[in-house]
Amino acid sequence: MPIIKNMEIVEKALDEVSIPRFVKVRQVFDGPVVENIVRTTRTELTKKELQDRIKPNQKIAICVGSRGIANLAKVVKETVNYVKEKGATPIIFPTMGSHGTATAEGQRAILADFGITSESMGAEILSCMDVVQVGTINDGTPVYVEKNLPDMDGIIIINRIKPHTSFSGNIESGIIKMAVIGLGKHKGAETCHKLNFKDFAPRLIEMSRIIINKLPIIFGIGLIENAYDQTAEIVTIPAEKVEEIEPQLLKKAKSYMPKILFANLDVLIIDEIGKNISGSGADPNITGRNTSPYKKADFIPPKRVVIRDLTKETEGSAVGMGAADFITEKIYNKFDMTKTYINCITSTNNGGAFMPMVMRNDYFAIKGGIKTCNRLDLDNARIVRIKNTLELENIYISESLLEEAKNNQNIEILSEPFELKFDEEGYIVE
Q: Is position 420 within any domain?
A: no
Domain final position from 256, 277, 306: 256
Q: Which residue has the higher pLDDT, 417 or 66?
A: 417
Q: Is position 427 within any domain?
A: no
| pLDDT at residue 296, rounded to an integer | 74
Q: Is position 428 within any domain?
A: no
222 and 351 co-located in one domain: no
Q: Where residue 1 falls among pLDDT bands split at 50, 70, 90?
A: very low
pLDDT at 148 over 70: yes
% of the chain with per-residue pLDDT over 90: 83
Closest to 159 in 3D by CA, of 145, 149, 171, 173: 173
280 and 361 co-located in one domain: yes
- 188 Cβ contact list (under 8 Å, min separation 6): 97, 131, 143, 144, 145, 180, 181
222 and 288 co-located in one domain: no
Q: How many structural domains compose the chain?
A: 2
| pLDDT at residue 279, rounded to an integer | 83
How many residues are recorded in the chain? 430
Instruction: Report the distance separating Cα 36 and Cα 29, nearest Å.
Output: 21
Mean local confidence (pLDDT), 196-220? 94
Q: Where residue 117 falls among pLDDT bands split at 50, 70, 90?
A: very high
205 and 340 co-located in one domain: no
Q: Where residue 396 falls among pLDDT bands split at 50, 70, 90?
A: very high
Q: Where residue 292 falls among pLDDT bands split at 50, 70, 90?
A: confident
| pLDDT at residue 291, rounded to an integer | 83
Q: Where residue 13 falls among pLDDT bands split at 50, 70, 90?
A: very high
**Residue 63 belongs to domain with CATH number:** 3.40.50.11440
Q: Is position 407 within any domain?
A: yes
The lowest-confidence range among 191-200, 204-213, 245-254 is: 191-200
Contact 131, 145 (CB under 8 A): yes
Q: Where residue 138 falls among pLDDT bands split at 50, 70, 90?
A: very high
Mean local confidence (pLDDT), 379-395? 96
Torsion (CA) 58, 62, 63, 66 in degrees, nearest 10: -160
Domain final position from 204, 236, 256: 256
22 and 87 co-located in one domain: no
Instruction: Report the distance separating Cα 87 and Cα 302, nearest Å.
Output: 54
172 and 223 co-located in one domain: yes
Average pLDDT, the chain: 94
pLDDT at 4 over 70: no
Range of the domain at 130: 37-256
Q: Is position 214 within any domain?
A: yes
Give the DSSP letter string of 316-348: T--TTGGG-SEEEHHHHHH--HHHHHHHHHHHT
Mean local confidence (pLDDT), 189-209? 88
Mean local confidence (pLDDT), 132-145? 95
119 and 198 co-located in one domain: yes
From the CB of residue 81, how many other CB atoms can be counted at a distance below 10 Å?
18
Residue-wise pLDDT for 220-277, tens only, equals: 999 999 998 899 999 999 999 999 999 999 999 999 999 999 999 999 999 999 988 8
196 and 269 co-located in one domain: no
Q: Is position 3 within any domain?
A: no
Model confidence pTM above 0.85? no
Q: Is position 166 within any domain?
A: yes
- Cα of first residue to Cα of last residue in the chain, in angstroms, is 23
163 and 298 co-located in one domain: no
Domain final position from 197, 231, 256: 256
232 and 266 co-located in one domain: no
71 and 218 co-located in one domain: yes
Q: Is position 197 within any domain?
A: yes
Instruction: Report the distance separating Cα 96 and Cα 171, nearest Å.
Output: 18
Instruction: Report the distance separating Cα 270 and Cα 324, nearest Å.
Output: 9
β-pairing, 394-398 vs 383-386, is antiparallel
54 and 169 co-located in one domain: yes
Q: Where residue 3 falls among pLDDT bands split at 50, 70, 90?
A: low
